[in-house]
Amino acid sequence: MSRERPPLISLGDLPPPPPPSYAAAHDDEEEKDSPPKRWYHYLPLVVVIILLLAPHPSLLIVLVRYHLLLLQAPGWFAVHFAFTYTLSFLVFSSLIVILARDPGPVPSSHAPDGAADDDLDITQALLSGHDDDMTSPGKWCRKCWAPKPPRTHHCSSCGRCILKMDHHCAWLGNVCLGHRTYTSFLHFLTCTVALSAYIAVINIRAVYYAFTNPLSIDESTPIHCISLSFASIVITMVIGPFLLYHCYLISTNQTTLESLSPFLLLRQIPPLPEHPADGRKLSYPPLEHELSYNQRRLVREAHGQIRQYDIGLRGNWSQVIGWDRPWGWVHRILIGGSGKGDGLSFPRNPRADEMLSRLATELVDVDKDR
């Protein structure tokens, strides 16, 4: 009789999968997915489109009656007309990109040496493996059951992981903004603020002229000017600070999630040198609810100083609006586009590891004197 050959790969030594409580405690992103998108999810987008289109009838009335007929200034009429409608075109071009483009699909697998996924058999798939630990929070998505690259987050509203997810936007079609759409989102904000500010300026001048020359202008044109001025000022004051906030995020190389979630740092710190002196045993990485008040305050303070992906102002902006191809700036001006790179890896701040190690040590030492 032929002897049985031992199996090529033994799976007996693999660690058991973590219990559901562990997964839930270590990854607060793994929430129950919401129902599919319904028609009412697109109502905020309809409101946005109406707000973008509503001023144009009044704007045309002001341009024709005031600049062309009253002031007899066809040159300024042409300039204002061309500038406002160019900006309007750019606003809608970036909006279409946000709605039509995938924000950042995560590859289903990483084939070795560029091999196609369909060419891998079970042995190659097991032997090729990943360096990341499947049970490590932040490195493996327990909802998609797939690797989660750095800066990738699982969106419970979309039911999937998004590369370099910034936030989920209910106002723009209930979609996520990620690696492939964030530049278009910045383009949309910039053009919207520029358009509203420009309309406000030209109409405020028309309002001033109407009050100083009441007999030379008709009765309805000042009403259009006042309405456009008020609406444009409100939009500029609302969207402007939001644009400045995202300029700050780009300058420090953060996403909205990274900026608003200080305890994401816990997933990046190295193993703690020892357990706290009071005998409390912290998980690795530590969980937010396990930390004392002093440790929580320490993490929040460190969050304002540790910029893991900050590589300088020029390098940070280059990741978002930079280009590699010739004439790439034309693409950026027209639709915004996507960020540089593949969205799977990002250059890190050379001081980040040192600062994270210091944070791990201070988390242990902060309660020793209590």
Q: Which residues does the annotation mark as catalytic?
A: 169
3-class DSSP state of 152: coil
What length is written for the chain? 370
Whether 155 and 161 have beta carbons less than 8 Å apart is answered as yes
Whether 189 and 171 have beta carbons less than 8 Å apart is answered as no
Closest CA to 8 of 120, 126, 104: 126
Whether 299 and 266 have beta carbons less than 8 Å apart is answered as yes
- Which residue is it, tokens 């209910």? 170
CB-based contacts of 57: which residues, under 8 Å, 6+ apart? Answer: none
Whether 215 and 118 have beta carbons less than 8 Å apart is answered as no
CB-based contacts of 70: which residues, under 8 Å, 6+ apart? Answer: 216, 217, 221
Ranges of H-type helices in 101-181: 122-128
| Phi–psi pair at 312, nearest 5 degrees | 105, 155
Whether 347 and 315 have beta carbons less than 8 Å apart is answered as yes
3-class DSSP state of 153: strand
Closest CA to 42 of 169, 173, 157, 175: 173
Pairing state between β 167-169 and 160-162 = unpaired
Distance separating alpha carbons of residues 352 and 160, to the nearest angstrom: 29
Residue 304: CA atoms inside 13 Å, Cβ hemisphere, count? 4
